[in-house]
Amino acid sequence: MNVVSFFAGCGGLDLGFEQAGFRVVWANESEPAVRDTYIRNHPKTTFVLDDIRHIKPETIPDCDGFIGGPPCQSWSIAGKQRGLADQRGQLFLTYIDLIKAKAPKFFLIENVKGLLDEKFKDVFTDFLIQLETAGYNVQWKLLDAVNYKIPQHRERVFIVGFRKDLNATFQFPLPTCSQPITLNQAIGDITEAPRRYLKEKIDSANPIRHNHDVYVGAFGLYYQRGNRRRPWERPSFTIHATGENAPLHPSSPKMLYWGYENWSFQPNKEDYYRRLSVRECARIQTFPDNFIFDSPDILALYRMIGNAVPPRLGQVLANAIKTTLTNVKIKTSVEVKPHKDYRKAHTLVGYFKNDLHRNLILKHSLYYVRSDGRKGTMFKEDCTIMPEYLLLHHKEKAELYSLVDEEPLLVDASYLETLGFETTGKTYLCFRLKHSQQKNIQDWEGATWRHSKARRKYAPYFTTLDKVIDFTYERK
């Protein structure tokens, strides 16, 4: 499947899609400093260095999808948040116009969390409406990269749309790890000292480790408004696009806290503080070591890395998109009937607290069960037989849904909280719903049912359908 890339930068998102099996056939970027790096690492992609506003739809190759993240500075909390008053913010609309003109099967848009701020609520809603009216089913979600085996906390908004005529059902990927990847795991093997640069040009490759070069310019006043050092056993802070603001290496001394937005370096230890090197930042962003960043300006290297989507997150999203497109291809107009012993089908019985809780479950196609040893706990070992159905109940109401046939994923509470769920535990098992439409049991060869047995207890448990549903129809 072919995709084209906009605001490509050095190609982090592009690399993730390539790792998932897509072909990035064409890429556009307006920043000259990234050209050599992109071409060096994506030799099979046609690279167009130009302002997106100068790109004519007829010059863009036919493709299956558009990918790219418009400039984030207009919405970023770290910037002035001028939104559409900033010309860079208006590039978001240009991207939408090109999507309308070429009508690819799908698109992916990435941007900063600031886009969700209350001051941009109307703008963000307008973006979504424009994409919907262009003929797409649109979904969006705030994802934290740390939940996807990326050793940094990095919250970004992702918007994905599929053309309505495809009748595609897309689900954002669940977390791929239950414990964060630490700095020690990510960069602990880089033990040699980096080369130090201020304003001088980088005129040769580092002979020991590619791009293991560090900026040693002064730390600004704003740098010490917060803690900039994470220890080895934790993931990194967000890798930003400005080398001056790169996080400190974990070998640096701890910073001293004096009050809100008031931190400092330890006296007489200032020389022991150093930023992460270019290669260390690239590792934390999940670029492989054979991805070479090519520029004589060290701050340009930090900028292209910090602006990139972590390739590993790009790959996870690309795989979810590919699964959706594959399912579209194999859909048939005839629904497969359940096996004849459907009344004995393994079922997870779960409880929803109220309509808001139920709506969140259906919105995210996800049901979660506590897995921390307290009341109502389940463990992966309990899932030797995967349930085919989820029976949700509350008081006199019971609903039945099909579940995806896959091992439940263990996640921590913070992930569920980003989806809007209220949690009281630490870890949870997540089961995925195939879709948010209830199963109509009456379609199963005339069977009728009642949910009088659905309220055995509030804690979730496994059983079979015939234990919670009264079937009055007998097969011949």
**How remote is the C-alpha of 270 from its chain's centroid?**
37
419, HSE (Cβ side, Cα atoms, 13 Å): 26
Q: How many Cβ atoms are within 10 Å of 140's Cβ, its own excluded?
A: 19
Give the C-alpha separation, 72 to 395, whole Å.
46
Give the C-alpha separation, 110 to 154, whole Å.
12
- Which candidate, 98, 109, 107, places its Cα nearest to that of 72? 109
- The DSSP element (H or E) to which 350 belongs, if any, is strand 346-351
**How remote is the C-alpha of 308 from its chain's centroid?**
13
The residue type at 402: S
Cβ neighbours of residue 38 under 8 Å, at least 6 residues apart?
Answer: 8, 9, 10, 11, 27, 29, 45, 47
Contact (CB, 8 A) for 26 and 4: yes
Give the C-alpha separation, 45 to 23, whole Å.
8
First to last CA, the chain: 48
Active site members: 72
Length of the chain: 476
Which CB contacts under 8 angstroms, 24+ apart, belong to 71-77?
71/7, 72/111, 72/112, 72/114, 72/115, 72/307, 75/111, 75/112, 75/114, 75/115, 75/117, 75/120, 76/112, 76/114, 77/112, 77/113, 77/114, 77/117
